[in-house]
Amino acid sequence: MIIVRLASMGNIRRRFLQILEKTDLKGKYPKNSKQQYKNIDDDKEVASIMMNFNRKLILEDGSEYYGYGFGSKQDRITEIVFNTSPVGYQEIVSDPSYHNQTVVMAYPLIGNYGIAEDDFETEIPTIGGLVVRDYNDTPSNFRSKYTLSELMEKYHIPGIYGIDTRKLVRSIRDLGSRKVLITNI
């Protein structure tokens, strides 16, 4: 029997990861169905959050990251790289040097100023995908014509948010760039 005590967001995140480790690939059923929990309400709450995941990244080395989709819903295999810039996500998405690469943004909040038509690096973005920690779908810039998700849908670019980008960036930094699959769960 596992005793669950949730006192802070750090504990919730740790508990969430523990539950995630005990689930099958689709995150629907516990691997050990006889597992009992003392505080079942907390586990139901965390499990319900986990059940809402609709996208995942699968790296070439087999590691998986679960999150929520935005942009295009299509599956894509690309090379994964990272960018540490705190601003300029529109320029990164439209930068031709990221052709067929999935870019992990190290800065946690992306999408908060939307897309302005004057800030493109190229007319048609060719980035392979975008991975962010927190995605904001309500831009606050007066120059914004549409959201980042709308741009990504228009040009068939898949995106995923809600994953631990710090861990992913460390993995890319330490082990190098690898192939990655962005797919639906």
Instruction: Supply the DSSP string of the chain, one letter for each residue.
Output: -B-----SHHHHHHHHHHHHHTB-TTS-SBSSTT--BSSHHHHHHHHHHHHT--EEEEETTS-EEEEEEEEB---EEEEEEEE--SS-HHHHHT-GGGBTEEEEESSSEESTT-B-GGG-SSSS--B-EEEESEE--S---TT--B-HHHHHHHTT-EEEESS-HHHHHHHHHHH---EEEEEE-
Instruction: Check residue 126 and give its pLDDT.
Output: 93
Per the prediction, the chain carries an average pLDDT of: 82
pLDDT of residue 150: 96
* pLDDT tens track for 48-99: 555 689 999 999 999 999 999 999 999 999 999 999 998 899 999 999 999 9
**Positive or negative CA dihedral for 155, 182, 28, 148?**
negative
Q: Has residue 133 got a pLDDT over 90?
A: yes
Over range 91-116, report the average pLDDT.
94
Q: What is the mean pLDDT of residues 99-105?
A: 96
Residue 102 reports pLDDT greater than 60 = yes
pLDDT digit string, tens, across residues 139-155: 999 999 999 999 999 99
- H or E element at residue 137: none
Contact between 164 and 131 (Cβ < 8 Å): no
Whole-model pTM?
0.72
Task: Please determine, for residue 158, whether its predicted confidence score (pLDDT) is greater than 90.
Answer: yes
Q: Which domains does the chain have, with CATH numbers?
A: 1-52 (no CATH), 54-184 (3.50.30.20)
100 against 15, higher pLDDT:
100
Q: What is the mean pLDDT of residues 14-29?
A: 53
